A and B are shown apart, each in its own frame.
Chain A
Amino acid sequence: MQTAANSRAGLRQSPIWRILLAIPIIYVVLLLGQPAGLDLPKIVDTIRNDPGILLQQLINGLANGAIIAIIALGYTLVYGIIELVNFANSDVFMLGTFTALLSMSPFIIMSENGGASVPWWAALIAFFPAMGIGALLNVTIERVAYRKLRNAPKLIVLISALGMSFILQNIGLQLGSLGKLAQAGPQFSIFSILGSNNAAPKSFPSVFSNDNLLEYVFPSEPTPTPAADAGGAAAAGAVAGELSEDAVMATANAAIDATMVADEATRAAAPTEVVAADAEVTPEVAVADAEATPEAPVADAAAEIVATEEPTPDIIATMNAENGGQDVMAEAPAATNEAGQSIERTKVRITFKDLLVISVAVVLMLVLRWFIANTKMGKAMRATAQNRDAAKIMGIDVDRVIAITFAIGGALAGAAGMMTGIYNGTFVFTMGFTAGLRSFTAAVLGGIGNITGAALGGILIGILAAFSDQFLSVRWTNAWIFLVLVLVMLFRPTGLLGKHGGEKA
């Protein structure tokens, strides 16, 4: 049996097999890729006209990938140790954002126009409850939903995991309705942030500015802002003019950034203009039924939103900035990526948030690696991952090791939740689903059970998603991600960094 498996693996590794496999795959991708946004000449054109956008998306991808990577660490740790896909992990991530928001609520500063912000130290403090509650939740989940099933068939545990995921989503939904309490009397700022619609995306108070750090390093001459023409703005995206300091290329998750921009636009008091540039002139408005499919507008809205420092508050398209961003989310216009071409060259932006998210992710990964490699508990985790019975014979309390693994995964998810709040400025109770899909894919891509692999996979998925959002098609981003997963699985079944022979943790 082993020899059969070996010869199969051998065939898979032989160059002939790879070539035979690659040819039809490339053909199919080229053939079927077109509706999914694969238009090579256009992509080449876009990049030639505006090389900066490539760099910009790389930065966006790195930052979003860093968040995915942190969640993926939780998936990969738990999978490594009990071979279970803890679907609830990414919902712990979602509740991490809620926890962070709720624990920051005493420090929220509201501006007259509804925007909210918190001082940086409050955000720093909020990391602890976010991680703590995340850990506690994950440990409870293991205790309640998985421990009794440890010797049950894998499928049953998987169903249990899905069930936990739904329960957590509904907790998130209920938390979202806290804002309704405002009608009963007390006017806490947290209530106005949460709003009255429990399913609607919530805005996260802004913590750090969107200042382009590159501006400090390479200051640019001030350029006159061209006047916006309501009629021509959309058609000639150039009208939007030079991307100034507040301008944000909303791409990675356009609607999410849209909220942030709109949010900041209103908060900044300085009259700001939000332009939804759409080359096709008619913006396809995705009016979302937030109750039913709150995720839909997030996926659909590919809006290129450009905020300029225009002294006249003039809202073009269906941007409803006054609502503190919430309704913007639901009614974000879906603009096609072609808009990117007509807008003038992208000025590459690196914000403090980008650096923060990426460096936190790197630090967490390094600490985790060190912990697993060098501490007694880390070694016990590796031992349990390799052979649970052997670990028991060594005198390792396997239940405790598994609980601690879940705690670490939950804490990481909580930290990621906090960071997505800071970075994207908005969140919704269903975001765990997409995040879970991407981060689990990242874990498999990197080689499940492998910590460095999960981090690498997360970064790759992040960049891929950003590029797909920009150059391919936002609607198809998840499809492209899974295509890459399928390809990696075909050519390297153990993942990028996975080793043969079931090496774990």
Chain B
Amino acid sequence: MLELKNVHTYYGNIHALKGISLTVNEGEIVTLIGSNGAGKTTTLRTIQGLLRPREGTILLNGEALEKLAPHVIVQRGISQSPEGRLIFSNMTVRENLEMGAYQRNDKDGITRDMEYVYTLFPRLRERMTQRGGTLSGGEQQMLSMGRALMARPRIMLLDEPSMGLAPILVDQIFEIIKTLNKEGTTILLVEQNARLALSIAHRGYVLETGEIVLTGEGRSLLDNPEVKAAYLGERAH
């Protein structure tokens, strides 16, 4: 469904992605793990069109995305819960969700999807008229994911949904990711919490300083000694 072929991205002169190739198939949860600065977020930003790859191509169902503007890429069916959540803090929860559906014009569909988001995250319904900035970290994460869902994406990119959240909330969020996937949303998940990410992912990629060094099924990566040493040992909790 989504395919990156030899993607190189730069920040000025810094070579951030050094030829990334990865594939996400329809219905999968694919996770991208790696330490800080490995290029996980850069990969997601490149897919979304916020960064332009200098080389390589990004295909969504065969259509090249790398030259399209971000809003067109959203139209094509890629939405994202970005790093740091980027909630519109001056807007109400409802307005935030409306923004997620910006590219859509089907009023009834939007109302239905908003209802769906509210059933998925009942807390958001309670906070409907509250400003985004007043929400707790966990609620903001829910809002960020709900907002991404409002675009009715074919593939959803999640950037560090566990960041800064209490373990119980993290479990809750990951349950919802699994539910979403079961209901048909393809997911590309970026995580530092490798154990958790690999435990729900069908497949995983390990990213190290801009290069993919390992790939495999979620379970098999969990058992991989290199992964264990590098990403699981230090993150045990």
Partner of B91, one of A379, A392, A393, A396: A379
Partner of A383, one of B49, B70, B99, B103: B99
Contact-residue size bin, chain A (C-beta under 8 Å from the other chain): 20 to 34
A284 contacts which chain B residues (CB < 8 A)?
none
Partner of A392, one of B71, B75, B89, B90: B71
Tell me how far the C-beta of A175 lies from the nearest C-beta in chain B, rounded to whole angstroms: 37
B103 contacts which chain A residues (CB < 8 A)?
395
Interface-facing stretch out of B80-88, B196-204, B213-221: B80-88
A395 to B133, CA, bound (A): 21
In chain A, what residue has the closest Cβ to B87? Answer: A390
Partner of A387, one of B74, B79, B86: B86
A399 contacts which chain B residues (CB < 8 A)?
69
Given A376-B102, A380-B102, A389-B50: A395 touches B88 (CB 8 Å cut-off):
no
B100 contacts which chain A residues (CB < 8 A)?
394
Within 8 A of B (CB), among A42-60: none
In chain A, what residue has the closest Cβ to B104? Answer: A395
A504 contacts which chain B residues (CB < 8 A)?
90
Contact-residue size bin, chain B (C-beta under 8 Å from the other chain): 20 to 34
Q: Map CB proximity to B onto A381-393 as digits: 1 under 8 Å, 0 otherwise.
A: 0110011011111
B95 contacts which chain A residues (CB < 8 A)?
379
Query: Once the chains bind, are A389 and B82 in contact (CB under 8 Å)?
Result: yes
Q: Map CB proximity to B onto A59-94 as digits: 1 under 8 Å, 0 otherwise.
A: 000000000000000000000000000000000000
Q: Map CB proximity to A onto B52-85 as digits: 1 under 8 Å, 0 otherwise.
A: 0000000000000000011100110001101000
A501 to B151, CA, bound (A): 29
In chain A, what residue has the closest Cβ to B69? Answer: A397
A390 to B95, CA, bound (A): 14
Query: Once the chains bind, are A393 and B88 in contact (CB under 8 Å)?
Result: no
Query: Once the chains bind, are B86 and A395 in contact (CB under 8 Å)?
Result: no
B48 interface residue per 8 A CB criterion: yes
A86 to B48, CA, bound (A): 30
Q: Map CB proximity to B onto A236-255 as digits: 1 under 8 Å, 0 otherwise.
A: 00000000000000000000
B99 contacts which chain A residues (CB < 8 A)?
379-380, 383, 391, 394, 396
A344 interface residue per 8 A CB criterion: no
Query: Once the chains bind, are B102 and A396 in contact (CB under 8 Å)?
Result: yes
Given A380-B99, A380-B102: A392 touches B50 (CB 8 Å cut-off):
yes
A383 contacts which chain B residues (CB < 8 A)?
88, 91, 99
Within 8 A of B (CB), among A481-505: 501, 503-504
Within 8 A of A (CB), among B103-161: 103, 133, 147, 151
B28 interface residue per 8 A CB criterion: no
A382 contacts which chain B residues (CB < 8 A)?
88, 90-91
Query: Once the chains bind, are A394 and B147 in contact (CB under 8 Å)?
Result: yes
A501 to B89, CA, bound (A): 10
Tell me how far the C-beta of A492 lies from the nearest C-beta in chain B, rounded to whole angstroms: 19
Tell me how far the C-beta of A190 lies from the nearest C-beta in chain B, rounded to whole angstroms: 44
In chain A, what residue has the closest Cβ to B76? Answer: A395
In chain A, what residue has the closest Cβ to B150? Answer: A394
Tell me how far the C-beta of A369 lies from the nearest C-beta in chain B, rounded to whole angstroms: 14
Within 8 A of B (CB), among A349-400: 376, 379-380, 382-383, 386-387, 389-399
In chain A, what residue has the closest Cβ to B82? Answer: A393
A396 to B69, CA, bound (A): 10
Query: Once the chains bind, are A395 and B82 in contact (CB under 8 Å)?
Result: no
B208 contacts which chain A residues (CB < 8 A)?
none
Q: Which of A391, A394, A397, A501 has the most CB of B within 10 A?
A: A394
B3 interface residue per 8 A CB criterion: no
Tell me how far the C-beta of A449 lies from the nearest C-beta in chain B, rounded to whole angstroms: 10
Query: Once the chains bind, are B71 and A397 in contact (CB under 8 Å)?
Result: yes
Q: List 15 A-B contacts (CB under 8 A).
A: A376-B102, A379-B95, A382-B88, A387-B86, A389-B50, A389-B82, A389-B86, A392-B70, A393-B50, A393-B80, A394-B99, A395-B102, A395-B151, A397-B69, A504-B90
Can you add 14 more A-B contacts, CB < 8 Å, to A392-B48, A392-B49, A398-B71? A379-B98, A379-B99, A382-B88, A386-B90, A389-B86, A390-B86, A390-B87, A390-B88, A392-B70, A393-B48, A393-B80, A394-B100, A395-B71, A396-B99
B interface list, Cβ under 8 A from A: 48-50, 69-71, 74-75, 79-80, 82, 86-91, 95, 98-100, 102-103, 133, 147, 151
